[in-house]
Amino acid sequence: MAEVLLLHHAQGLTAGVTAFADELRKAGHTVHTPDVYDGNTFETLDDGIAYARQVGFQELHDRGIRAAEGLPAELVYAGFSLGVMPAQALAQTRPGARGALFFDSCVPVSEFGISWPTGVPVQVHAMESDPWFLEDIDAARALVKEADQAELFLYPGDSHLFADSSLAGYDPDAAALVRERVLAFLAGR
C-alpha cells in the first residue's frame, strides 16, 4: 500500500478533502493531511485566497514542504489546487518520491530548477473548462510530455475543486472517476 502526503486547497482542510483522504485510507493507504491553514476553512475560494495572501503564498508553500519532514522519503505527493505547488516541489526535488497526484492545478516543471525525475509517475486531474486550470493546462501538457509515466485527465465541466464533496462545485460523477483512477494509480506504488 502507498503512503500519501495530501495537501489541501485554498479553502483549507475542508470536510471534502478529509473525505477524499478517508476514501484512500479505506483502500488501505496511509494518508497524511496536514493543515497549513491552522484550522481555518473558508466558504468561498475568494475568501480562502484572501487568507492565503494575508499569510503569504511563500509561507504556505514552505508549510507544505515542512509537512514532509519526519515522513518517509517513499511518498506519493498529492495536492489540490494551492497544495499542488508544494506537492510538485517535493515530488521533483525530494529523493525517493513514489509518485505525484495533482488536482485542479499544475506548475511548470522549470519552476523548481530541475527536470521531472525519471521513474516518478504522475497524474493530473482537472475539468477541461475550469478557468483556474486553463492557466495551467500548458504546464500540465508539458509535464506529460517530459515525464516517462504521466497522464492528464480532463473531465467535462468548468468547476474548480470538483472532487471536494463539501463544496458547491462538487461533481459526484467526475469525482468518482477521479477516485477510481487515483486508487488504480496508488495500487502500483
Q: Residue 154 maps to which CATH number?
A: 3.40.50.1820
3-state SS, one letter per residue, for the chain: CCEEEEECECCECCHHHHHHHHHHHHCCCEEECCCCCCCCCCCCHHHHHHHHHHHCHHHHHHHHHHCCCCCCCCCEEEEEHHHHHHHHHHHHHCCCCCEEEEECCCCCHHHHCCCCCCCCCEEEEEECCCHHHHCCHHHHHHHHHHCCCEEEEEECCCCCCCCCCCCCCCCHHHHHHHHHHHHHHHHCC
The number of distinct structural domains making up the chain is 1
Supply the range of the domain harboring residue 112: 3-187
pLDDT at 189 over 90: no
pTM over 0.85: yes
For 109-123, how does the pLDDT look when each residue is reduced to its tens digit (9 = 90+)? 999 999 999 999 999
For 56-112, how does the pLDDT look when each residue is reduced to its tens digit (9 = 90+)? 999 999 999 999 999 999 999 999 999 999 999 999 999 999 999 999 999 999 999
